[in-house]
Structure 1
Amino acid sequence: MKELLRSTDLVRLSFLSALLRDAGVEPLVLDNHMSVLEGSANAIPRRLAVSDEDYAAAKRVLEEAGEPLDEDD
C-alpha cells in the first residue's frame, strides 16, 4: 500500500475516494478507527492509500482533479 495523502476533512476524503473508484482504483482510508477513539476531534488525520500497482493511476486521477498530494518522496 502507498499513501496518497492525509486529511482530517471527511468530505474531501469521501470525494477523493469516489473519484478514485470512478477511475477503477480502489482506495483505502486508514486510521478511521483511531480518529473515532480520540473522540472525533479531528486530531488524527486519516490516510488515503491505494495498492502499489494503482499508485501511478491514482496520482494521475487526483492531479487531474486539481487535488494536491502529500508527497515526501
Structure 2
Amino acid sequence: MIELVRTNDPVVISFIEALLRDAGIEFFVADQNMSVVEGSLGVLPRRVLVSSDTVDRAKRLLADAGIAGEIRNG
C-alpha cells in the first residue's frame, strides 16, 4: 500500500475517507488507535493508504476535491 495522506486533522481524514469510499477506492487509515498511546492529544498523524494500482486515481480525486495540498510527495 502507498501512503496517500498523513495528517493530524480528523476532519481531513474523514473527508478523504468519504471521497475514497464514494469512489469505490479501497483504503486503510493507519494509526487511528494511537490516541490511546498519545493520550488523545492528536499529536501523532494518521495515514491514509491506498493500493499502488489506485494511487493515481486517488490523487486525482483529492485534487478535484480541492485538497491536493494534503497529498504526500514521494
User: When the two structures are superposed, what TM-score results if normalisation uses the length of structure 2?
Assistant: 0.88
Q: Distance in 2 between matches of 1:15 and 1:66?
A: 11
Deviation at 1:3, TM superposition (A): 0.4
Partner of 1:4: 4
Q: Which amino acid aligns with 2:45?
A: P
Partner of 1:43: 43
Q: Note the aligned Cα RMSD (angstroms).
A: 1.1
Deviation at 1:47, TM superposition (A): 0.4
Conservation of the 8 A alpha-carbon contact between 1:35 and 1:46: no
Conservation of the 8 A alpha-carbon contact between 1:25 and 1:54: yes
Q: Distance in 2 between matches of 1:41 and 1:66?
A: 27
Unaligned runs of 5+ in 1: none
Deviation at 1:50, TM superposition (A): 0.6
Q: Distance in 1 between matches of 2:37 and 2:54?
A: 30
How many pairs were matched up?
72
User: When the two structures are superposed, what TM-score results if normalisation uses the length of structure 1?
Assistant: 0.89
Partner of 1:70: 72
